[in-house]
Copies of this chain bind each other. A is one copy, B any other.
Amino acid sequence: MAAVNGLIRTDAPGVHVLDDALERTVVAVRQLVDTMAAKEGFHPLSVPPVIARSILEKTGYAEAFPQLLGSVFGLEERGTGKLVPTDVVVLPAACYHVYPALSGATLTGPARYVAHGTCYRHESTLEQGRLRSFRMSELVFVGAAEETIAWRERWLHRTEQLFRDLGLEVVVEVASDPFFGPGQRWLRATQREQQLKFELIAPVGEGMRQAIASCNYHKDHFGEKFEITTAGQAAHTSCVGFGLERVAMALTHAHGPDRKRWPDAVRALVQASDD
């Protein structure tokens, strides 16, 4: 099994098996995120790589990112041999399993989950680091507006500092994913103005920069859709998502493939099982 930069190719571009070193780094990064999250009371959840289509329609994702969505089709039951849409799609972001699980909840304080899953996005350009199938660990904070904004703000800085501590040349950029769905495409501009989405961008390979994490504030979008309330109002949500393969590739690019030769301070943070 020949690997290039830790990635072992399969017959599908952008879908990889990882070599041992990169895989261990991915697992160590997930552990690091999980530990940071646990210290603040985030409840870990492993989420499946498929999700009900109805959820992505309800949230507007299906309309906002139709080109990225993978719909699962299955054989028609009537035995015609025809493939028809099933009720599931491939999961585009780990947090989409969290909001529906809180449907109808009345919160008496913030809810905190860290969701670990494998995501799929039907990317058409497949330069290095733009994987179609990739693992994501995502912290989700659900609460009142003010505390939710404050949490995102704090974790934006915390995440940036973490990456600097890991020796990565990270920059923070305001982004404008239209995650509120179209018919609301004008929101893309205001989203940028309102700074709802920040991406943390770092080199993941030679001449190649990618977002390795993003920090998002969704206002009461998900709270309204799933009738999650706090103090009589629709809850607000923020999330911080880590692209595990990308963080691992950024670390490998910065410090080399042999983790034993990484700076001690970095190794102390990203503690793999064979260290």
Contacts and interface: CB of A to CB of B under 8 A. Distances in A.
A102 interface: yes
A45 B7 CA distance: 12
Q: How large is the interface on A (under 10, 10 to 19, 20 to 34, 35 or more residues)?
A: 35 or more
A263 interface: no
Interface string A1-18: 100000010111101111
Nearest to A134: B48
A20 B113 CA distance: 12
B71 A74 contact: yes
A41 interface: no
A86 B100 contact: no
B101 A52 contact: no
Interface stretch (A117-125, A158-166, A178-186): A117-125
Of A67, A70, A71, A97, chain B has the most CB atoms within 10 Å of the CB of A70
A75 B83 contact: no
A96 to B, nearest CB: 10
Given A74-B69, A85-B73, A118-B49, A17 B101 contact: yes
A148 interface: no
Given A72-B70, A75-B67, A100-B10, A90 B50 contact: yes
A233 to B, nearest CB: 21
Nearest to A18: B46
- Copies held by the complex: 2
Nearest to A55: B11
A1 B79 CA distance: 37
A10 B101 contact: yes
A50 B122 contact: no
Contact of A17 (B77, B83, B88, B97): B97
A235 interface: no
Nearest to A9: B101
Contacts of A204: none
Contacts of A47: 17
Nearest to A89: B72
Interface in A94-121: 97, 100-102, 118, 120
Contacts of A43: 20
15 contacts: A10-B48, A10-B52, A11-B54, A12-B50, A12-B53, A26-B46, A48-B118, A49-B50, A50-B70, A70-B72, A71-B73, A71-B83, A72-B72, A72-B73, A83-B85
Given A50-B90, A50-B132, A74-B122, 20 more contacts: A1-B101, A1-B102, A8-B101, A10-B52, A10-B100, A15-B88, A17-B48, A23-B45, A26-B46, A49-B90, A50-B70, A50-B120, A50-B133, A69-B74, A70-B73, A70-B86, A70-B88, A72-B120, A75-B122, A88-B132
